[in-house]
Amino acid sequence: MSEGGLKAIEYLSSPQQGYRQEAPGLDRVVDAIEAYLHDPTWRFDLDLILLGTAFQQRVWKALQAIPPGRPLTYGRLAEKIGSGARAVGNACRANPCPLVIPCHRVVGVNGLGGFAGERGGEKLEIKRWLLRHEGWL
């Protein structure tokens, strides 16, 4: 949280305690994430402070329009915004607020693609779980 808006979300490998007391407004973010975990159709309505290029901002806005359970391929999203699949993937990798800006809803033609800069391991398992949670896998 910064100046009343969410700047980034980090996936932590183990549960962390005490964050709610450290930043004003964090309760709202945690409550929104918990609402999504309870109901995958939950729409995030958080104030965001997104630092990125104009292109990244365009991709992040497009990501927020993808409905839960209806992922697009990198190529299809690229077509929609008049770009290339690799550029879309790079913007997804730079996404500072995964989950709130649902980059997990962009997949490869022949598989999940990557997630948070990784093409395997724990972060890809998070993507798989999120897509299952939304009823796609």
Residue 35, pLDDT score: 96
Q: What is the spatial distance between Cα 39 and Cα 84, in angstroms, rounded to a whole number?
A: 32
Q: What are the pLDDT digits (tens) for 58-88?
A: 999 999 999 999 999 999 999 999 999 999 9
Q: What is the spatial distance between Cα 47 and Cα 5, in angstroms, rounded to a whole number?
A: 5
Question: Which of 63, 103, 107, 112 is the catalytic position?
Answer: 103
Q: What is the spatial distance between Cα 111 and Cα 21, in angstroms, rounded to a whole number?
A: 40
How far does CA 126 lie from the centroid of its chain? 11
**Which residues of the chain carry a pLDDT beneath 50?**
1
In the residue annotation, 97 being an active-site residue is answered as no
Residue 1, pLDDT score: 47
Q: What domains sit in the chain, N to C, each tagged with a CATH number?
A: 54-133 (1.10.10.10)
Residue 134, pLDDT score: 97
- SS3 for the chain, per residue? CECCEECCCCCCCCCCCCHHHCCCCHHHHHHHHHHHHHCCCCCCCCCECCCCCHHHHHHHHHHHCCCCCCCEEHHHHHHHHCCCHHHHHHHHHCCCCECCECHHHEEECCECCCECCECCHHHHHHHHHHHHHCCCC
Residue 21, pLDDT score: 59
What is the identity of the amino acid at 30?
Answer: V
